[in-house]
Amino acid sequence: SAVISQKPSRDICQRGTSLTIQCQVDSQVTMMFWYRQQPGQSLTLIATANQGSEATYESGFVIDKFPISRPNLTFSTLTVSNMSPEDSSIYLCSVVSSIYGYTFGSGTRLTVV
Amino acid sequence: AQTVTQSQPEMSVQEAETVTLSCTYDTSENNYYLFWYKQPPSRQMILVIRQEAYKQQNATENRFSVNFQKAAKSFSLKISDSQLGDTAMYFCAFMKQSNTGKLIFGQGTTLQVKP
């Protein structure tokens, strides 16, 4: 399957600051996805990031809070802006390809204090 | 809208025994995919098994098998010969065939395998 390198693996941030999470894939993929997993909860899709176009956000998520970049077919970033303790979650990127199917990154555990 | 329901928040099983995790879903789609993912404490999401809705035959992967009942919209996971390494959170997930990539997850079931 595709190999995804996600960074950082964890961080502790002050409220009001921003954190950018990076995902690097070892092959070119059309679609990349960003999920949030709140403590003890399931995964919820934040947005779909396609190369060359603006990200598509799910209901309840907005670009000002979660700006996403997708500069090429192997890389994407998610920024969590103006953080509050409610943003403390695991954030995961994922990709789907016709060859490898669905693969997740190892996740970023974010704690906002 | 599609929904996925896992009604068992927690389950436990003795090592070497068999356990079944339940999942039901709701959709008006006819073509879709269903998945079971495992998330151990490392947080890594690991694909356990995948089922295409158009296939009547239940998917199997070594000790893991599913009971897919399309009419009942049920998709349970059976783990045979449970091992300590099977201890993890298990998520059932749904994906429309026409919307490749967007997964809808159930609430998850925490499985504890006891020695």
Least CB–CB distance from B45: residue in A31, A104, A109: A104
Which distant-in-sequence residues (6+ apart) come within 8 Å of B67 by Cβ?
B20, B58, B74, B75, B76, B78
**Chain B residue closest to A5 (CA)?**
B44
Is residue B21's pLDDT more than 70?
yes
- Record: fold of B3-114: Immunoglobulin-like (2.60.40)
Query: Where are the extended beta strands (E) located within chain A?
Result: 4-7, 10-13, 19-25, 31-37, 43-50, 56-57, 68-72, 75-80, 89-97, 101-104, 108-112
Parallel/antiparallel/unpaired status of strands B24-26 and B104-105: unpaired
Q: How many domains does chain A have?
A: 1
Q: Are strands B19-21 and B74-79 parallel, antiparallel or unpaired?
A: antiparallel
Distance between CA atoms of residues B90 and B87, nearest Å: 9
Which tens digit of pLDDT belongs to each residue from A15-31?
999 999 999 999 888 88
Residue type, B73: K
- Which distant-in-sequence residues (6+ apart) come within 8 Å of B3 by Cβ? B25, B26, B104
| Token code pair at residue B80 | 């045979």
Closest CB from B44, B45, B102 relative to A48: B102
Contacts of A96 in chain B (CB under 8 A): 100-101
> Distance, in angstroms, between A101 CA and closest chain B CA?
9
Can you say whether residue A56 is alpha, beta or left, with left for phi > 0 and alpha for psi between -120 and 50 degrees?
beta
Contact flag B45-A92 (C-beta cutoff 8 Å):
yes
Please tell me if residue A16 touches chain B, with a CB cutoff of 8 Å.
no
Report the pLDDT value the prediction gives residue B94, as an integer from 0 to 100: 93
Amino acid in position B114: K
Whether B67 has a pLDDT exceeding 60, the answer reads: yes
The verdict on residue A87 lying in a domain is yes
- Contact residues on chain B for A42, CB-CB shorter than 8 A: 91, 105-108
Q: Give the pLDDT mean for B86-92.
A: 97
User: What's the CATH code of the domain at A44?
Assistant: 2.60.40.10
Compare all CA atoms of chain B with the CA of A42 and give the residue at the minimum distance: B107
- The pLDDT of residue A101 is above 70: no
Contacts of B107 in chain A (CB under 8 A): 41-42
Query: Which of A91-100, B3-12, B34-43 has the highest mean predicted lDDT (pLDDT)?
Result: B3-12
Cis peptide before A8 (omega within 30 of 0): yes
User: Is residue B12 predicted with pLDDT exceeding 80?
Assistant: yes
Read off the pLDDT of each residue in B39-61 and give the average, rounded to a whole number.
91
Quick one: average pLDDT of A46-53?
Answer: 88
Which residues partner with B77 through β-bridges? B21, B66
| pLDDT at residue A100, as a whole number | 54
A66-100 pLDDT, tens digit per residue, is 999 999 999 999 999 999 999 999 999 999 866 55
Expressed as residue numbers, the domain containing A19 is 4-67+78-112
